Amino acid sequence: MTDEALPANEAPSANEALSNLLHEDRRFPPPADLAASANVTAATYAEAEADLEAFWGEQAKRITWDTKPTEVLDWSNPPFAKWFADGTLNAAYNCLDRHVEAGNGDRVAYYFEGEPGDTRVITYAELTTDVKKAANALLELGVEAGDRVAIYLPMIPEAVVAILACARIGAPHTVVFGGFSADALASRIEDCGVEVVITADGGYRRGKPSGLKPAVDEALTKCPSVHHVLVIKRTGQDTPMTEGRDLWWDEFVGQQSAEHTAEAFPAEHPLYIMYTSGSTGKPKGILHTTGGYLVGVTYTQWATFDLKPETDIFWTAADIGWVTGHSYLVYGPLANGTTSVMYEGTPDTPHKGRWWEIIEKYRVSILYCAPTAIRTFMKWGADIPEQFDMSSLRVLGSVGEPINPEAYVWYRTNIGGDRVPVVDTWWQTETGMHMISPMPGVTSGKPGAAMTPVPGVSVDVVNDEAESVPNGSGGYLVITKPWPAMLRTLWGDDQRYVDTYWSRFPGLYFAGDGAKRDEDGDIWLLGRVDDVMNVSGHRMSTTEIESALVSHPKVAESAVVGASDATTGQAIVAFVILRADAGDGGPDVVAELRAHVAKEIGPIAKPRQIMVVEELPKTRSGKIMRRLLRDIAENRELGDVTTLTDSTVMNLIKENLSASA
């Protein structure tokens, strides 16, 4: 989740962070066989460097255009970009029909694993038919190009069908994470004036059915713009239906014609709106458009993962309600003709080896997930993945947060058999596509570093004066040139778009993240600038202290926050989850961990307080909500918890703390 840009005095200034104190000397060069047949080589970087627009013009050929664009970038009215503006295309046609027309209709698009153990194998031909029917259903409900449709579903194949049906008729979709509350759903529906909602009776989580439709009913009491609700049967729960408004998907979509010819839309036609929370005010509706976005995600999935669509089995283990699901579970993979795995549930249902079982079963070759998952697996222990055959894996990806060096090495060693490269991909809802990442056939990976911009992307690390910082220094991460999958604006609020991203450093896109460039010029992400702490005048990044804690053999996961302190301004408070074999914590462990941080970073970084907890509060993408932990550390009432995946976590932490006090 990204937050508003912060004023300079609250952000870290260059060279101030204790950025270079964690040493990392381990290097993992690309495996020889991967390098020998890699999609991206040193030549790709050179090509992008030589002529950026020509490079993106080439990448646009990955897409089938109805009218080929003659122009690549129109940047005549910055920061409002137009990419491939005179081209026309249909995103769903690119994801579906063209593969069927090319004779690949029998290729599997998704291997679906439901949490209760039900499975489905869906080919490109089948998915195309399903999407055509759903598109006809939306048309029958009066949805026209430009109208907004909200999708509030569990991780089931119909979520993909719904997304592509919208894209097919040019109706921008807004997918709301199934874990969000009725209030969160209502505010998003209101903000973009949704007309139709696609939902389900419920979904499965941790072995139990949990209802979704009741939240829709509650939200719609406040949303008069919605005239119809399509309801997919997933759990078979008892579901009240509102006469004249609600329709069962299987009946209404099922009876539709399987014929539908996709219409081409201009490249800049809106494709979707994805909401991400700001630190203040209402959520921001990030707007993505069609042509540039599709080119960006198609190219980056191919590049970053060294994708070979004929042979790879690709698994993005992320929710479809997160941008990672949009770009690398739906649009990129389908446009490339990839076979993907889609899994509905949690990693520990019915047992803690579920993911590894799925990898073994489908011979998954590329796995893409978040550091939070990796740290959870570390906590459970390496003996679990050890029981499965994961020799099919050849690339491992990470996204969502900085990956701590120890988590990276654990991932590579225990999941990747000490041979599979790890690509740490930095990007945002706003960027739409990968921006900074190793390329698995080129880059010698450093644990914890996102390394270098993807070929075709231009970034910099700058100081308060927008000057590039020298190697070995920290500063703010900025993007210096437009890129095809960039957000075009915030829905209905051009001014907020300009203010949030383009005004801190005029002419540069400010991502809101701190970063450092190491001695080799490689990039390390340091977390959101608003997560930086100031202890006795020293600015410190939460990320590095967390990584120091996770590098201790007893720690699986940690979250660090700054709490106000009468003496030092702010003091470091750490929350840690211990590994399964580390015992129960207690005063000895706390003393040991404090000493460990002092040794790894320096005495100034020693936490004032370390609390051992069972769980941490997280968003849909696994990002730790430090704001809530700050509330606890400072003994305050808890702030807004509506975007937590599981709001009971905060009660658990509080109980746990009062029990140990």
Q: Check binding of 168 to ligand 6R9 (CB under 6 A).
A: no
Q: Does 394 count as an annotated binding residue? A: no
DSSP-derived letter for residue 403 is P
Which residue is it, tokens 């989850």?
A: 577
Helix (H) or strand (E) holding 395: strand 395-399
Q: Does 579 count as an annotated binding residue? A: no
Q: Check binding of 283 to ligand 6R9 (CB under 6 A).
A: no
Task: Kindly tell me which residue out of 131, 320, 323, 549 binds ligand 6R9, with binding defined by CB under 6 A.
Answer: 323
Name the residue nearer to ligand 6R9 (CB basis): 88 or 187.
Answer: 187
Name the residue nearer to ligand 6R9 (CB basis): 196 or 403.
Answer: 403
Q: Does 207 count as an annotated binding residue? A: yes
> Cβ atoms within 10 A of the Cβ of 19, count?
25
Q: Does 249 count as an annotated binding residue? A: no
User: Least distance to ligand 6R9 from the beta carbon of 325, Å?
Assistant: 10
Task: Kindly tell me which residue out of 34, 313, 450, 550 binds ligand 6R9, with binding defined by CB under 6 A.
Answer: 450
Task: Kindly tell me which residue out of 2, 277, 452, 463 binds ligand 6R9, with binding defined by CB under 6 A.
Answer: 2
SS3 of 540, please?
strand
* Six token digits for residue 204: 């499965």
Q: Does 402 count as an annotated binding residue? A: yes
Q: Which amino acid is at 465?
A: E
Distance CA 171, CA 70 (A): 25
Q: Does 513 count as an annotated binding residue? A: yes
* Six token digits for residue 323: 């941008």
Which residue is it, tokens 């100034």?
A: 604
* Six token digits for residue 571: 């003091």
| Alpha-carbon distances of 448 from 198, 296, 445, 515, rounded to whole Å | 39, 25, 9, 12
Task: Kindly tell me which residue out of 291, 347, 405, 512 binds ligand 6R9, with binding defined by CB under 6 A.
Answer: 512
Q: Answer whether 589's CB lies under 8 Å from 583's CB.
A: yes
Name the residue nearer to ligand 6R9 (CB basis): 365 or 398.
Answer: 398
Q: Check binding of 276 to ligand 6R9 (CB under 6 A).
A: yes
User: What are the b/e assignments for 361-379, b being 16+ CB within 10 Å?
Assistant: ebebbbbbbbbbbbbbbbb
> Cβ atoms within 10 A of the Cβ of 227, count?
14
Q: Does 555 count as an annotated binding residue? A: yes
| Alpha-carbon distances of 580 from 510, 584, 601, rounded to whole Å | 40, 9, 26
Which region, left, alpha or beta, applies to residue 44 given φ > 0 means left and ψ of -120 to 50 means alpha? Answer: alpha
- How many residues touch ligand 6R9 under the rule CB under 6 A: the total is 22
Q: Which amino acid is at 424?
A: D
The residue range among 79-87, 179-187, 220-228, 508-516 that interacts with ligand 6R9, by the rule CB under 6 A, is: 508-516
Task: Kindly tell me which residue out of 249, 293, 427, 497 binds ligand 6R9, with binding defined by CB under 6 A.
Answer: 427
The residue range among 10-18, 423-431, 439-447, 464-472 that interacts with ligand 6R9, by the rule CB under 6 A, is: 423-431
Distance CA 62, CA 294 (A): 9
**Cβ neighbours of residue 221 closer than 8 Å, sequence gap 6 or more:** none
Write the interaction track for ligand 6R9 spanning residues 23-42; mark x where CB under 6 A is met and - where it is not.
--------------------
Q: Check binding of 315 to ligand 6R9 (CB under 6 A).
A: no
User: Least distance to ligand 6R9 from the beta carbon of 196, Å?
Assistant: 26
Q: Check binding of 12 to ligand 6R9 (CB under 6 A).
A: no
Q: Does 346 count as an annotated binding residue? A: no
> Cβ atoms within 10 A of the Cβ of 358, count?
19
Write the interaction track for ligand 6R9 spanning residues 611-630; mark x where CB under 6 A is met and - where it is not.
----------x---------
Query: Which pairing describes strands 265-266 and 88-89: parallel, antiparallel, or unpaired?
Result: antiparallel
Name the residue nearer to ligand 6R9 (CB basis): 135 or 422.
Answer: 422
Please state the φ and ψ torsions of residue 106, each to the nearest 5 degrees: -85, -5
Task: Kindly tell me which residue out of 273, 511, 540, 549 binds ligand 6R9, with binding defined by CB under 6 A.
Answer: 511
Name the residue nearer to ligand 6R9 (CB basis): 235 or 428.
Answer: 428
The residue range among 229-237, 408-416, 511-519, 559-567 that interacts with ligand 6R9, by the rule CB under 6 A, is: 511-519
Task: Kindly tell me which residue out of 414, 428, 542, 547 binds ligand 6R9, with binding defined by CB under 6 A.
Answer: 428
Which region, left, alpha or beta, applies to residue 55 given φ > 0 means left and ψ of -120 to 50 means alpha? Answer: alpha
The residue range among 93-101, 260-268, 418-426, 483-491 that interacts with ligand 6R9, by the rule CB under 6 A, is: 418-426
Q: Check binding of 235 to ligand 6R9 (CB under 6 A).
A: no
The residue range among 115-123, 398-406, 407-415, 634-642 that interacts with ligand 6R9, by the rule CB under 6 A, is: 398-406
The residue range among 110-118, 200-208, 420-428, 563-571 that interacts with ligand 6R9, by the rule CB under 6 A, is: 420-428
Task: List, in sequence order, every residue forming a beta bridge with 110; answer none if it has no partner.
Answer: 122, 340
Name the residue nearer to ligand 6R9 (CB basis): 327 or 336.
Answer: 327
The residue range among 90-98, 102-110, 382-390, 400-408 that interacts with ligand 6R9, by the rule CB under 6 A, is: 400-408
Q: Answer whether 326's CB lies under 8 Å from 354's CB.
A: no
Q: Answer whether 485's CB lies under 8 Å from 288's CB.
A: yes
Helix (H) or strand (E) holding 459: strand 459-462
Distance CA 4, CA 549 (A): 28
Q: Does 316 count as an annotated binding residue? A: no
The residue range among 40-48, 224-232, 380-388, 427-435 that interacts with ligand 6R9, by the rule CB under 6 A, is: 427-435
Distance CA 517, CA 287 (A): 30
Q: Which amino acid is at 385?
A: P
Name the residue nearer to ligand 6R9 (CB basis): 232 or 525.
Answer: 525
Cα dihedral 615, 619, 623, 629 in deg (nearest 10):
-60
SS3 of 494, please?
helix
Name the residue nearer to ligand 6R9 (CB basis): 257 or 444.
Answer: 444
Task: Kindly tell me which residue out of 402, 432, 475, 585 binds ligand 6R9, with binding defined by CB under 6 A.
Answer: 402
Residues marked as binding for CoA?
205-208, 324, 536
Residues in touch with ligand 6R9 (CB under 6 A): 1-2, 276, 323-324, 399-402, 424-429, 450, 511-513, 525, 528, 621
Residues marked as binding?
205-208, 324, 400-402, 424-429, 513, 528, 536, 539, 550, 552, 555
